[in-house]
Chains A and B, each alone.
Chain A
Amino acid sequence: MDQKNEMKNDMVWVGLEQLTNDPEYTKSIEQEFSNQPSLAEQLVEKGSAANRRDFLKYMGFGLGAATIAASCEIPVKRAIPYVVKPDEIVPGVATYYASSYVQGGDYCPVLVKTREGRPIKVEGNTLSSVTKGGTSARAQASVLSLYDNNRLQGPCKIINGEVEFFNAKSDDAAGAWKIVDDAIKAKLTPNSNIKIVANTIMSPLTLKAVEDFSKVYPNTELVQYDAVSYSAMIQANEASFGLAGLPTYRFDQADIIVSFNADFLGTWISPVEYATQYSSKRKIGKDLETATMSHHIQVESHMSLTGSNADNRILVKPSEQGAAILALYNALAINQGKEIVSGPAVNEGVKAQIDKVAAKLLTAKGAGLVVSSSNNKAEQLLINAINQMIGSYGTTISFDRVGNQRKGIDQNIQGLIQSMNSGSVDAVFFLDGANPAYDLPNASTFAAALSKVSLKVSLSGLPNETLLLCDFAAPTHHYLESWGDVEPYSGQYSLIQPTISPLFATRQIEESLLVWSNSSFLTNTSDQPVFDYLKSSWQSMFNQQDTYASFQMFWDQTLHDGVFELPGEVRVNTNAAIPVSSLGSQITKPSKDGLEISFFETVNMGAGQYANNPWLQEMPDPINRCVWGNYLGVPVSWEGGNEFTSLNNLNGREFYGEADKVDVKVNSEAKEVTVVRQFGQMGGTVSLALGYGRTYTGKQGLALGNHVGTSVQSWLGIDQDGNTQYFATGVEVSESKAKEKDFACVQYHHSMGLKAVDPVSGETLNVDEKTAMTVGEGYQGGITERSIIYQSTLKEINHLAEHITEKRGEAEKLNQHTLYPYDEYKENYYEQGHHWKMHVDLNACIGCGACQVACIAENNVPIVGKYEVSRHHEMTWLRIDRYFYGDFENPNVVYQPMLCQHCDNAPCENVCPVAATNHSSEGLNQMTYNRCIGTRYCANNCPYKVRRFNWLDYTTADLFPSNEYPVNEEELPFGADNLTRMVLNPDVTVRSRGVIEKCSFCVQRIQEGKLTAKKEGRRLNENDVKSACQTACPTGAIVFGDANNEESVIADRLNHPLNYLVLEETNTRSSVSYSAKINNKDEALKA
Chain B
Amino acid sequence: MSAVVSPIREPLITGGKTYHQITEDICSPTERVPSLSWIIAFTISAGFLGLYVFSVFWTIWKGIGSWNLNRTIGWGWDITNFVWWVGIGHAGTLISAILLLFRQKWRTGVNRAAEAMTIFAVICAGQFPLIHMGRLWLGFFIFPYPNTRGPLWVNFNSPLLWDVFAISTYFTVSLLFWYSGLVPDFATVRDRAKGFRKKIYGFLSFGWTGSAKHWQRFESLSLVLAGLATPLVLSVHTIVSFDFATSVIPGWHTTIFPPYFVAGAIFSGFAMVQTLMVITRKVLNLQDYITLGHIESMNKVILATGTIVGTAYLTELFVAWYSGYIYEQYAFYNRVFGPYWWAYVGMMSCNLLSPQIFWSKKIRRSIFWTFVMSIFVNIGMWFERFVIIASTLARDYLPTSWSYYVPTWVEIGIFLGTIGLFFTLYLIFVRTAPVVAVAEVKSILKSSGDQYVMDADKYKEKAVVTEHAETH
The chain A residues found within 8 Å of chain B, CB to CB, are 655-657, 747-749, 751-752, 772-779, 781-783, 785-786, 788, 868, 871-874, 879, 881-883, 898, 907, 910-915, 931-937, 939-941, 943-945, 947-953, 960, 962-963, 965, 992-996, 1062-1063, 1066, 1068
Contact = CB atoms under 8 A, between A and B. Distances in A.
B333 A778 contact: yes
A995 B135 contact: yes
A995 B326 contact: no
B142 A914 contact: yes
Contact of A752 (B153, B247, B396, B399): B399
B329 interface: yes
B142 A949 contact: no
Nearest to B161: A913
A949 B248 contact: no
A963 B59 CA distance: 11
Given A655-B339, A782-B330, A945-B396, A915 B75 contact: no
Contacts of A934: 64, 133-135
B74 A657 contact: no
Contacts of B398: 788, 881, 898, 943-945, 1062-1063
Nearest to A928: B152
B471 interface: no
A656 B404 contact: yes
A945 B401 contact: yes
B155 A910 contact: yes
A963 B339 contact: no
A937 B248 contact: no
A751 B129 CA distance: 37
A871 B134 contact: no
Given A752-B399, A773-B337, A944-B398, A994 B249 contact: no
B154 A914 contact: yes
B63 A951 contact: yes
Interface stretch (B33-41, B65-73, B257-265): B65-73
B164 interface: yes
21 contacts: A656-B404, A772-B334, A779-B329, A779-B330, A782-B329, A786-B327, A788-B399, A872-B71, A873-B71, A910-B158, A914-B141, A933-B141, A934-B135, A940-B75, A940-B247, A943-B248, A951-B65, A952-B62, A952-B63, A962-B62, A993-B63
B54 interface: no
Among B136, B139, B158, the most chain A Cβ lie within 10 Å of the Cβ of B158
Contacts of B71: 872-874, 939, 945, 947-949
B393 interface: yes
A960 B138 CA distance: 17
B391 to A, nearest CB: 11
B134 A913 contact: no
B246 interface: yes
Contact of A937 (B153, B158, B341, B402): B158
Closest CB pairs A-B (n = 3): A934-B134, A994-B134, A951-B65
Among B246, B249, B330, the most chain A Cβ lie within 10 Å of the Cβ of B330
Contacts of B132: 935-936
Given A774-B337, A881-B400, A882-B400, A949 B64 contact: yes
A749 B400 contact: yes
B346 interface: no
Contacts of A772: 334, 338, 395, 399
Nearest to A746: B400
B99 interface: no
Given A933-B138, A933-B139, A943 B63 contact: no
Nearest to A915: B155
B275 interface: no
A777 B333 CA distance: 9
Interface string B313-333: 000000000000011011001
Contact of B142 (A872, A933, A1062): A933
A772 B68 CA distance: 22
Contacts of A1063: 397-398
B403 interface: yes
A785 B71 CA distance: 24
Contact of A775 (B152, B337, B395): B337
A196 B68 CA distance: 52
Contacts of A911: 157-160, 246-247
Contacts of B402: 655, 748-749
Contacts of B196: none
A913 B130 CA distance: 13
A996 to B, nearest CB: 8
Nearest to B336: A775
A913 B160 contact: yes
B446 to A, nearest CB: 52
B61 interface: yes
A783 B330 contact: yes
Contacts of B69: 936, 951
Contacts of B155: 910, 912-915
Given A934-B134, A995-B135, A912 B158 contact: yes
A774 B334 CA distance: 9
A786 B70 contact: no
A943 B249 contact: yes
B330 A931 contact: no
A373 B333 CA distance: 46
Given A774-B339, A872-B71, A935-B160, 14 more contacts: A773-B333, A782-B329, A782-B333, A786-B326, A786-B327, A907-B248, A910-B158, A914-B142, A937-B160, A944-B398, A948-B71, A993-B134, A993-B135, A994-B63
Nearest to B158: A913
Interface in B232-257: 243, 246-249
Interface in B108-141: 129, 132-136, 138-139, 141
A747 B70 CA distance: 13
A774 to B, nearest CB: 5
Contacts of B243: 937
A749 B134 contact: no
Contacts of A932: 134-135
Contacts of B336: 775
A941 B249 contact: yes
Given A786-B327, A933-B133, A994-B134, A943 B397 contact: yes
A939 B157 contact: no
A749 B133 contact: no
Nearest to A1066: B248
Given A873-B70, A948-B71, A915 B153 contact: yes
Contacts of A993: 63, 65, 134-135
A915 B135 contact: no
Contacts of A774: 337-339, 341
Contacts of B159: 911
Interface string B51-65: 000000000011111
Contacts of B72: 872, 945
Given A945-B396, A994-B135, A1068 B158 contact: no
Contact of B63 (A748, A779, A963): A963
A939 B74 contact: yes
Contact of B134 (A783, A785, A898, A936): A936
A1005 B136 CA distance: 32
A530 B334 CA distance: 65
A994 B133 contact: yes
Given A779-B329, A907-B248, A935-B133, A915 B401 contact: no
Contacts of B327: 786
A656 B70 contact: no
Contacts of B67: 951
Given A872-B403, A913-B158, A773 B338 contact: yes
Contacts of A752: 399
Nearest to A931: B141
Interface string B140-172: 011000000000111101111100100000000
A962 B327 CA distance: 42
B150 to A, nearest CB: 12
A475 to B, nearest CB: 37
Contact of B154 (A913, A944, A952): A913
